Amino acid sequence: MSHLPPIATLQAFECVARRRSFALAAAELHLTASAVSHQIARLEGDLGVRLLERSAHGVRLSTAGERYLSRIGGALAAIGAATDDLKHGVATSLYVHSSPSLASLWLMPRLHRFAQAHPDITLNLSAAHIHSDFALGQADLDIRYGVPQWPDLVVEPLFEEPIVPLASPAFIRQHRLKRPEQLVGLPLIQSNVNVVQWTDWFKAHLPQRVPGRFSLRFDRAVMAMDAAAQGLGVALESATLARSLIDDGRLKAPFSLERAARVKAHFIVYPARHAKRPTVEAFLGWVHGEAARS
């Protein structure tokens, strides 16, 4: 096994990186700021890389520090959760990682049904754009968004979802939005991470009027939908993920679903060796059932 730094140094680094302050990290870890600084110096010396940049304006991660944090952060969280489970006698835990928008908009509103169906399973859910690292034991399952290019892993599509323009009912009334060509000149909200972009939609429906700029850009679908619900423009998003906002009357699709682009972009991913874990089998059966219902 490769050399592992002392866990105290990793905890100090993660805490300083998260709090962006030696003083706040020291208070959280019940140490002095000097002791935390010593732990960071020990870790940087052990790795031979500067992880944190210190200045009069505070602390920030170096490029190497950002990469390192993205790899060890989930591992430390997994160790902490496993330790808590052991202390409290939890025998059946499941660790699920998910893309953020799906976790908040689709998965969270349904978790009560999983808890009712499987009261013996303690579910640990984390969400980030960065995929979990199965080699580090960060998760049992990962629900990923994007084009499926994950060799050596089992990849199961979750559902097919329609991608449609969405806006608040008030915005639609204000602009009397009824036809796609009316989108030209209106504020459009761009989700930078989406598989289907506004340029794709315009090329399919209005090829002569592809927009050159956007009023707002976001790196998460949930923020784009929230901006649209606030009347800031028209977002191109998944009607499946936006279902609760549509049902609540905060968002509406101004055009028929014939204008939708249909994609499979959310996938459940896991190593084959995880397939026979009882908790994994339980979650897979449940989540595929929920996907079929939605």
Rounded-to-integer distance, Cα 113 and Cα 119, Å: 10
pLDDT at 2: 58
Note the pLDDT of residue 85: 61
CATH level 2 (architecture), domain 91-152+267-293? 3-Layer(aba) Sandwich (3.40)
What integer pLDDT is reported at residue 241 of this predicted model? Answer: 95
Q: Kindly give the parts of the chain with pLDDT less than 50.
A: 1, 90
Q: Is the dihedral of CA 264, 270, 276, 281 positive or negative?
A: negative
Return the residue matching tokens 């013996």.
120
pLDDT at 19: 86
User: Which one, of 136, 109, 50, lies nearest residue 293 by Cα?
Assistant: 109
- Cα–Cα distance between 83 and 101 in angstroms, integer? 28
pTM attached to this predicted model: 0.71
For the chain, domain boundaries: 7-69, 91-152+267-293, 161-263
Q: Which fold has domain 7-69?
A: Arc Repressor Mutant, subunit A (1.10.10)
Domain 161-263 in this protein, CATH class:
alpha beta
pLDDT of residue 90: 46
**What are the CA-CA distances from residue 196 to residues 111, 202, 269 (Å)?**
28, 11, 21
Question: Looking at the DSSP assignment, which residues form a beta bridge with residue 141?
Answer: 96
